[in-house]
Chains A and B, each alone.
Chain A
Amino acid sequence: MERIKNLLKRSRLLYEDLQTFLSPHRGTKGFYLHSLLSLFRQGFKRLKIVLSEGGKKIFIKIAASGAFLLSMRDRFPKMLPALKSGELRRRWASEVRLLIPNIWKSIFRHPFPVTEKDQVRISLNNFFLHLHPPRVKRHGLKFTYTFGLGGLSLLLFIIETVTGGFLMLYYIPSTEKAYSSYKDMLFTASFARLMQNLHHWAGHGMIVAVFLHMYRVFYTGAYKRPREFNWVVGVFLFVFTLALSYTGYLLPWDQLAFWAITVGSEIAEAAPFIGEQVKFSLLGGDMVGQGALIRFYVLHVFILPLIAGVLVAIHFWRIRKDGGISGPPLASPGEDKKKEETVPSFPNLVNRELTFAVASSAAFLLLSYFLNAPLEELANPNKVPNPAKAPWYFTGLQEMVSWGAPSIGGIILPGLIVLSLLFLPYLDRDPRGVGIWFARERRPVILMFTVVFGYLIVVTIIGSLFRGENWSLVLPWGGG
């Protein structure tokens, strides 16, 4: 108290003045007095004091502010010469000027590449860029050659991993809590709607991107020697993408999820000889229940992403080892000509990848903002929706199963298609027509592929859009 009194005396504010000023409020607990106290003494300009709570606290506040200002007043003259001569400013400026290059150097080990030599070298020196070859062919750089579909698939895979990690923080894989934890997350967690919608749309987008990527690679003949094995890895990635989506489908545990997975498992049951065992081991029981949920959860968040991640790494590594992106053979072999037909990956390829990634991320962020992922009511094994449909990418199989002979339409035919995809590069060994869309020389193969996949697309469209109650033919716009 004595110290406070001294401080107040130094600031020439009369202690008694304050006493009378505060006396009407003495003793009332928690009164709020919003007032400005202006002090024009002792050289400092305006001291703003907000009085709060009991009288004692106010004294301390004033004392502290007073002490601080007094100490500043004492210190200021000492700093004055340094400020006046500009020495202080120069010292700080040089610190700031050095800060950014220092940080840059600690991360990148090299300056920003300007010359072509540096641009080539950066692909070898930089971890984030070493995925790219030092130089890429001008042909492969054309957007209309690849449409960026492989890169889009990778971007969506990364988005799925990030958003999936967020969802795992809230989701509980039990039949009793899955639905409510999903819904509670949506209602209360920050950015949950973003994460759920993004996970949903990026997941479906990934299936579409992977499909289209496969079509692109096929129609440009990019699977041919020496890229046969990378095509095989790609086919496995395609299957794993479908499996990832299918296992994720169940997790919200709503009616849509429950019945789509039930129908899907019935397709698996159609497998000849081992159908029942396949279904049983897939679901961990005879029907979709807790066993299926935990199995699908572990597959979805751990086993499948792990395998897919490894396959993605192999897939990208092989692109480089197989001589970069596919294309027609260089017009004239030889070191000099090769330089004319290629450009450094940095910045030519990297810039385009970045642009495409930003554009697609923006598209998915906006899509997720305006379009919610579907969420139906809690799964109920006793309430069968009519029609119960498999996830959209399996409705084609469901359609074929519905024609009778389920083992042929549901298992044997799709199995044969995947098998022939795996062996395609080893059977179609004609090296002509690589790097050209719909090359003339490849007409018979292209025709066969188009017929098979055109058929699959048509049955998928029929199954998902033109089937209504009791699997009868309807028009998607509600008539007939």
Chain B
Amino acid sequence: MIPNMWEKVFAISSVAFLVAMALWIWEEMMPEWRFYQKKFKSMAMELAATLEEKDEIRSEGLKVRQIVMERLNRVDRCTTCHLGAEDAKYANLPLPFKYCPLTETHLPKKFGCSLCHGGEGSGIETKTAHGEGSRTHSPRLKGEYLQASCGKCHLEEYLYAAPLLLVGKRLYEHYGCGDCHKLYRRGRRAGPDLEKIASKRIDEFEWGKDRGEKSFVRWIFLHFKNPKEFQEDSKMTDYRMSEENAKALTVYMLSLTDERYPSDYYRGRKDEEHVQ
């Protein structure tokens, strides 16, 4: 029997249907965190010294892990892949299993991960969680720029643990940024208000003809280096900043978000603008 047109279409679309279902089921069955958790298990087994420890590691099932910060009404699922983040035993493991030394002073229950590191804390896919997906809106802070997050709570003038932030704050005074920009209740209004600058959306910035990576850090950094980078008629003064100075100022700018926390999260001088 020669199949007619409809039978051929039926055969093809049935195959397409099965392929589509298989794709979806494959995605559900094989989330990437399973891979990381298995890898971590084998690494942790090698590190474990006693039988009891091995026993404990083996009995742990594969599952999504989360830190719930009830007071902030947020949840971080970073530990689903970053399994060693809270345990000093894993200080020598490579990323993503490495221990985060700051968890000793900044209790994960209180601060979580994304409060400092940025990113989409509730996500469990690398791309989403790191804020690089198409539907994410808080990028992750990388490398030295991580110091910016200290400035979200630490309002001390001299925070030596975060040198770039400290320098950035000094440079803000040095260049006289307040002559044009308003920050909290000080400064003038000639330039944009900087109070919540780090919470601005990427597409709120003027990108001009730029075709490079659209990221907040890159925009601010290049804007300091050369104010005319993105906008020919920018009114911003060109200070011919060095790389280091531009970086330090970028770090300071990155600390100026619209996030507000309960008052006991803050250290140093407290402005009412800061407290939730």
Chain A residues at the B interface, C-beta cutoff of 8 Å: 28, 30-32, 180, 183-184, 187-188, 190-191, 193-194, 351-352, 354-355, 358-359, 361-363, 365-366, 369, 372, 374-377, 383
Which of B10, B21, B128 is A354 in contact with, Cβ under 8 Å? Answer: B10
Q: A369 with B51: in contact, given A183-B122, A358-B14, A359-B13 (CB under 8 Å)?
A: no
Which of B9, B17, B128 is A187 in contact with, Cβ under 8 Å? Answer: B128
What separation, in Å, do the CA atoms of A362 and B15 have in the docked complex?
9
What separation, in Å, do the CA atoms of A168 and B224 have in the docked complex?
48
B124 contacts A355, C-beta separation under 8 Å: no
> Main SS of the interface on chain B?
helix
Q: B17-32 interface mask toward A, CB cutoff 8 Å, 1 = contact, 0 = none? A: 1011101100110000
Contact residues in A for B9 (Cβ distance below 8 Å): 355, 359
B153 within 8 Å of A (CB atoms) = no
Contact residues in A for B75 (Cβ distance below 8 Å): 184
> Main SS of the interface on chain A?
helix
How distant is A362 from chain B, measured CB to nearest CB, in Å? 4
B108 within 8 Å of A (CB atoms) = no
Contact residues in A for B10 (Cβ distance below 8 Å): 351, 354-355, 358
Of listed A188, A190, A372, residue having the most chain B CB within 10 A? A188
* In the complex, chain B residues 19-59 whose Cβ is within 8 Å of any chain A Cβ: 19-21, 23-24, 27-28, 51-52, 55
Contact residues in A for B13 (Cβ distance below 8 Å): 355, 358-359, 362
What separation, in Å, do the CA atoms of A48 and B128 have in the docked complex?
46
Contact residues in B for A31 (Cβ distance below 8 Å): 51
Contact residues in A for B134 (Cβ distance below 8 Å): 372
Contact residues in B for A184 (Cβ distance below 8 Å): 75, 122
Q: A188 with B124: in contact, given A358-B10, A358-B17 (CB under 8 Å)?
A: yes
Of listed B14, B51, B52, B135, residue having the most chain A CB within 10 A? B135
B6 contacts A188, C-beta separation under 8 Å: no
A369 contacts B17, C-beta separation under 8 Å: no
A-B contact pairs, 9 of them (CB 8 A): A28-B51, A30-B51, A187-B122, A191-B24, A354-B10, A358-B14, A359-B16, A362-B14, A365-B20
Q: A190 with B28: in contact, given A184-B122, A358-B13 (CB under 8 Å)?
A: yes
B24 contacts A187, C-beta separation under 8 Å: no
Which of B16, B17, B64 is A188 in contact with, Cβ under 8 Å? Answer: B64
Contact residues in A for B19 (Cβ distance below 8 Å): 362, 366
Number of CB contacts from chain A to chain B under 8 A: 69
Chain B: CB-nearest residue to A198: B24
Contact residues in B for A191 (Cβ distance below 8 Å): 24, 28
Chain A: CB-nearest residue to B21: A365
Chain B: CB-nearest residue to A190: B28
A362 contacts B20, C-beta separation under 8 Å: yes
A187 contacts B124, C-beta separation under 8 Å: yes
B269 within 8 Å of A (CB atoms) = no
How distant is B41 from chain A, measured CB to nearest CB, in Å? 15
How distant is A163 from chain B, measured CB to nearest CB, in Å? 13
Contact residues in B for A32 (Cβ distance below 8 Å): 55
What separation, in Å, do the CA atoms of A358 and B28 have in the docked complex?
22
How distant is B129 from chain A, measured CB to nearest CB, in Å? 9
What separation, in Å, do the CA atoms of A194 and B26 have in the docked complex?
12
What separation, in Å, do the CA atoms of A193 and B52 have in the docked complex?
40
What separation, in Å, do the CA atoms of A352 and B7 have in the docked complex?
9
How distant is B14 from chain A, measured CB to nearest CB, in Å? 6
How distant is A2 from chain B, measured CB to nearest CB, in Å? 33
How distant is B128 from chain A, measured CB to nearest CB, in Å? 7
Contact residues in A for B125 (Cβ distance below 8 Å): 187
What separation, in Å, do the CA atoms of A358 and B6 have in the docked complex?
12
How distant is B102 from chain A, measured CB to nearest CB, in Å? 25
Chain A: CB-nearest residue to B129: A187
What separation, in Å, do the CA atoms of A383 and B23 have in the docked complex?
38
B247 within 8 Å of A (CB atoms) = no
B137 contacts A376, C-beta separation under 8 Å: yes
The 9 closest A-B pairs by CB, nearest first: A365-B20, A359-B13, A362-B16, A362-B17, A377-B137, A355-B10, A375-B135, A358-B13, A366-B20
Known A355-B9, A358-B17, A366-B19; 15 more pairs at CB < 8 Å = A28-B51, A31-B51, A32-B55, A180-B122, A183-B122, A184-B122, A355-B6, A359-B16, A361-B17, A362-B14, A365-B21, A365-B24, A366-B20, A369-B20, A376-B137
How distant is A284 from chain B, measured CB to nearest CB, in Å? 25
B118 within 8 Å of A (CB atoms) = no
Chain A: CB-nearest residue to B4: A351
Contact residues in B for A352 (Cβ distance below 8 Å): 6
